[in-house]
Amino acid sequence: MSRYKYVDLKSASGSVNVIAIVKHVKKPKKTKGSSYSLFFSITDPSLNGDKMSCIVFHDAEGNLPQIQSPGDIIIMHRLVIKQYNGRNQGCGYGATGFSAAVFSGVHLDPLTPFKSNTRCTFGDEELRIIERLREWYISPNCPVERENIQISSEQGSNEVSRTITSGIKRLDLLNGEEYCTIEGQIISIYNSVEIDNRVVLYIWDGPQSNNKQNTVFIGLSQDHLLQLLPYSQHDPHLAALTGHNLQQWNENILKNYETYNEEDLDKVLKSNFSSNSMETFRDWSVPISIYDEYAITEPIVNIKPGDLIRIHNVHVSCSRQKNDQSCGLQLRLHGNGHKFGRGIKHLGNKCLLMNYLHDTLFTSGDDANILDEANRYGLLDNLKSGINLRPPLLKPKCELLPYELQYPLTISQIRNIPVVVNEKQRQLSDWDLLYPIQTEFIPPVPPDSWLTCTDLLLSSSDLNVVYTRLCARVVDIAPLDVKTLKDCLLLTCSNCSFSIRGSSISDDDEALCECGSCLSILPLFFLHLEDPSGNLILTVTGHNAIGLINSLVDDDLRPCINNDTWWTGLIFEMKELQNIGISPDKIVLEQCRRLLGQWIDVAVKISWSKKSITGTTNTENDNDLQFHINDWDFL
């Protein structure tokens, strides 16, 4: 049994004896007096990846601890623990009996200390502790950030690599105070280099497990996100799928859904907010802050949303929020980490994942190697699982869409399309075509991302009309109750253009116009859509509204919905017209309710007056802009 009693670093106080792993070491320095000092940091399992700083003073440089490199294991006797800047710091004074012995941390190296001018007593008990620390240091669960150092044959009897590569860790399995390697697909990029020397990535690596659904990741504040919005990049498809930046809305709807207490919707609420459905509202995006040289060099400067990346030695810390007992996790890639193997590896772009999802065969060996590397730890499989778990509630047939509508835009970009179109029209009408004014649009809109409609009816010739594609979440919808439903149903006469709201007709009225013609039902729905860049109101009318409800109901109800008489029953509440056991208003409201919180992928038509010149971007309340869902199959 050892004559010394050792303590772990977490509980160390006063004068103690410790055995620990060296995490970082600086070169010895001459003090202002006649002695020398050595600064280093140490760790052990009790600190869970954190470190304790130490400084040792001695009368000669050769009497300082003979630390060769990070990873060495040091025995220290009579180390004095003091407080410095609110943290523990170990101080060793040779004049008061401090002594140390340093061993190699390499698992196969002999258990003999490095040669030293000072004497430190140890025995079998100390050597057993050193062996346990060696095994812990190379274990996959060790949270300590480690330097990449290669030991050559000249440095020891064994050619042993000290490069420690722990496996990839899934985002929903991260814990506080650890260093690890993660990988994922980029959803959004927020460039904050000019403000605080960092780039913030939001990534995902597949669905989150249910046992970690209460894990909170701390990213940018809402005010900071708004500040960076003009210089952010997003993948609309991934943002909608993962629910990125909709966390506040997601939480509110889960907490407040009881307020939707209308009798007609009781059953709908219970089914839509079951434990399985709640999974739809969880935000799967995880923020990571990239600092210093990593934020301004390859590959960060050229990566795009949708790209696949692997990030080595990410620091995961636990931060407690104000007035909140829970602990949130923050992910950071610190600068100056070349010694620790920090860095970002680009695994491929979004096309790689798309090819994998569609089982596209790779003809060249290089392509196959890229695919194997990206899926080495199952990233592509995990992303595929997440995509299959959260399909859009509405989705166009991509094979029918024109080239310009193959890729969706963000809401902010869509709001900029009229500005771009008007600017081009202005330049074409400008006499000085040799030197047109160059206008920069923020955010930029890709030139081939919308389709201009030139085949308009005479009555619509004063409108600009373009088509584009949109992916977003439905954060609100009208109608959600019977009264609003009747307000959203118009009875129109194709003969004399007469129209009246359904709510203005009593049950005793007949569905006839004054001219004697039968009135047709024109449904009118409104979807409030949101993505990280903004929000808009999407109007769904006529056959598009019928198609919307038709796409949501069961097969046995579709013949009813395609029948104009069925829609008449919505206004006059004549259930006998339907030959079904449930009133049509409940069916429609149930389908509207199903849309709430879901994400949709749709083709949209944007129209605005040619007389108006939209001069600003990101206008949230521009009554001149009209957004309509577009059924490309029908068109």
Q: What is the pLDDT of residues 581-590, one digit of tens each?
A: 567 778 888 8
| pLDDT at position 486 | 82
Better-scored residue on pLDDT, 12 or 298: 12
Instruction: Please indicate whether residue 341 or residue 628 has the higher confidence score (pLDDT).
Output: 628
Name which of 278-282, 335-339, 400-404, 435-439 the model is least confident about: 435-439
Band of the pLDDT at 323, cuts 50, 70, 90?
low
CA 434 to chain centre: 45
Taking 80 as the threshold, does the pLDDT of residue 578 lie above it? no
The 10s digit of each residue's pLDDT in 419-461 is 888 777 776 665 555 555 555 556 788 888 888 877 655 445 6
Q: Which residue has the higher pLDDT, 501 or 151?
A: 501
Q: Whole-angstrom Cα distance, residue 33 to residue 39?
A: 17
For residues 148-172, average pLDDT? 48
Main-chain dihedrals φ then ψ at residue 366, nearest 5 degrees = -65, -45
* Predicted pLDDT of residue 567: 75
More confident residue, 301 or 325: 301
The number of beta carbons lying within 10 Å of the beta carbon of residue 208 is 21
The predicted pLDDT at position 493 comes to 79
250, 281 contact by CB (below 8 A): yes
How much is the pLDDT for 254? 46
pLDDT attached to residue 619: 40
Residue pair 507/500 in contact by the 8 Å Cβ criterion: no
Q: What per-residue confidence (pLDDT) applies to 396?
A: 84
Q: 3-state SS of 475-518?
A: EEEECCCHHHHHHCEEEECCCCCCEEEHHHCCCCCCCECCCCCE
Lowest mean pLDDT among 23-27, 55-59, 210-214, 383-387: 210-214
Q: Can you tell me the mean pLDDT for 289-303?
A: 88
Q: What Cα–Cα distance (Å) separates residue 327 from each residue in 57, 125, 180, 217, 509?
A: 39, 38, 19, 9, 62
For 155, counting Cβ atoms within 10 Å of its Cβ (0-12 exposed, 13-18 middle, 19+ buried), the class is middle
8 A C-beta contact, residue 535 and residue 620:
yes
Spell 47-63 as b/e; 16+ CB within 10 A means b: bebbbbbbbbbbeeeeb
φ and ψ at residue 203, rounded to 5 degrees: -125, 170
Structural contact between residues 585 and 263, judged by C-beta atoms closer than 8 angstroms: no
Neighbouring-strand partners of residue 76: 18, 100
pLDDT at 315: 87
Per-residue three-class SS string for 584-633: HHHHHHHHHHHHCCCEEEEEEEEEEECCCCCCCCCCCCCCCCEEEEECCC
Residue 69 has pLDDT above 90, yes or no: no
Residue 406 zone, left/alpha/beta (φ > 0; ψ -120 to 50; rest)? alpha
Q: Roughly what angle, to the nearest 10 degrees, separates helices 365-374 and 379-389? A: 70
160: pLDDT strictly greater than 60:
no
- The residue with tokens 């373009």 is 466
In the structure, how many helices (H) and strands (E) does the chain have? 17, 23
Give the separation between CA 312 and CA 290, rounded to whole angstroms. Answer: 12
* Residue 150 reports pLDDT greater than 50: no
pTM over 0.75: no
Task: Answer whether residue 549 shows pLDDT above 80.
Answer: yes
pLDDT at 276: 43
Position 204 confidence tier, pLDDT thresholds 50, 70, 90: very high
Closest to 94 (Cα-Cα) out of 151, 144, 33: 33
Query: Mean pLDDT for the chain?
Result: 79
The CB-side HSE value for 343 (13 A sphere, CA atoms) comes to 13
342, 344, 347, 348 alpha-carbon torsion, rounded to 10° = 180
Question: Above pLDDT 90, what percent of the chain?
Answer: 33
pLDDT in tens, 484-526: 888 888 888 777 777 788 777 765 566 567 776 777 788 889 9
Range in 39-48, 289-298, 427-436 the model is least confident about: 427-436
Give the mean model confidence (pLDDT) for residues 102-126: 91
Q: Which structure tokens are listed for 7?
A: 């303590």
Q: Which of residues 215 and 67 earns the better pLDDT score? A: 67
Residue 104 has pLDDT above 80, yes or no: yes
Q: Who has greater pLDDT, 74 or 300?
A: 74
The three-class DSSP label of residue 296 is helix
What are 199's strand-pairing partners? Answer: 191, 290
**What's the maximum distance between 2 C-alpha atoms anywhere in the chain?**
112
Residue 359 backbone zone (phi > 0: left; psi -120 to 50: alpha; other: beta): left
Domains, the chain: 9-140 (2.40.50.140), 171-246+283-389 (2.40.50.140), 398-630 (no CATH)
Please tell me the predicted confidence (pLDDT) of residue 1.
Answer: 66
